[in-house]
Structure 1
Amino acid sequence: MSAAELFKPDRIAATGQGPLYMRLRRVIEDAIANGSLQEGEALPTERDIAERADLSRVTVRRAVDDLVKQGRLIRRHGSGTFVAPPVSRVEQTLSLLTSFTEDMARRGLSARSQWLERIVVAPSPEEMMVLGLSLGEKVSRLERLRIADDVPMAIERAAIIESFLPDPLEVTESLYEALALRGARPTRATQRISARNVDERSAGLLKVAPGEAALFIERVSYLPDGRVIEFTRSIYRGDAYDFVAELKLPQR
Structure 2
Amino acid sequence: MIYKNSPIPIYYQLEELIKGLIEKGDLKPGDALPPEREYAEKYQISRMTVRQAFTDLVNEGYLFRQQGKGTFVAERKIEQGLQGLTSFTEDMKSRGLKPGNKLIKFEIIPADSQIAGHLKIAEYGPVYEISRIRLADDVPMALETNYISANLIKGLTEGIVNKSLYAYIEGQLNLRIDSASQTIESSIASQSEANFLNISKGDPVLLIQRNTYLLDGTPLELVKSVYRADRYKFMIKMKR
TM bracket (short chain):
0.5 to 0.7
Change (3 A) 1:135 1:87: same
Between 183-192 and 197-206, the greater mean CA deviation after superposition: 183-192
- Tell me how far 1:132 sits from its aligned partner: 1.2
Residue type at the aligned position of 1:175: L
Q: 2:227 aligns with which of 236, 243, 248?
A: 236
Partners of 1:36 and 1:158 in 2: CA distance: 45
- Tell me how far 1:161 sits from its aligned partner: 1.2
Contact 1:120–1:167 at 8 Å: present in 2 too? Answer: no
Q: 2:101 aligns with which of 113, 127, 134?
A: 113
- Tell me how far 1:208 sits from its aligned partner: 0.7
User: What TM-score do you get using the length of structure 1 for normalisation?
Assistant: 0.65
Change (3 A) 1:150 1:136: closer
- Tell me how far 1:232 sits from its aligned partner: 0.2
Which ranges of structure 1 fall in alignment gaps of 5 or more residues?
Answer: 1-31, 38-70, 74-82
- Tell me how far 1:84 sits from its aligned partner: 8.7
Alignment identity in percent? 31
Residue type at the aligned position of 1:235: V
Corresponding position of 2:147: 159
Residue type at the aligned position of 1:135: E
1:185-204 → structure 2 map (5 Å cutoff): 185-204=176-195
Q: 1:35 aligns with which of 27, 33, 36?
A: 33
Contact 1:140–1:165 at 8 Å: present in 2 too? Answer: no
1:95-174 → structure 2 map (5 Å cutoff): 95-169=83-157, 170-174=160-164
SS of the residue 1:168 aligns to: coil
Corresponding position of 1:177: 167
Q: CA RMSD in A?
A: 2.5
1:8-23 → structure 2 map (5 Å cutoff): none
Partners of 1:33 and 1:124 in 2: CA distance: 48
Contact 2:211–2:221 at 8 Å: present in 1 too? Answer: yes
Contact 1:111–1:147 at 8 Å: present in 2 too? Answer: yes
SS of the residue 1:187 aligns to: strand
User: What TM-score do you get using the length of structure 2 for normalisation?
Assistant: 0.68
Contact 1:199–1:211 at 8 Å: present in 2 too? Answer: yes
Corresponding position of 2:46: none
- Tell me how far 1:135 sits from its aligned partner: 3.2
Partners of 1:33 and 1:125 in 2: CA distance: 49
Partners of 1:178 and 1:84 in 2: CA distance: 42
Structure 1 residue ranges (4+ consecutive) displaced by more than 3 angstroms after TM superposition: 83-86
Q: 2:199 aligns with which of 200, 208, 227?
A: 208
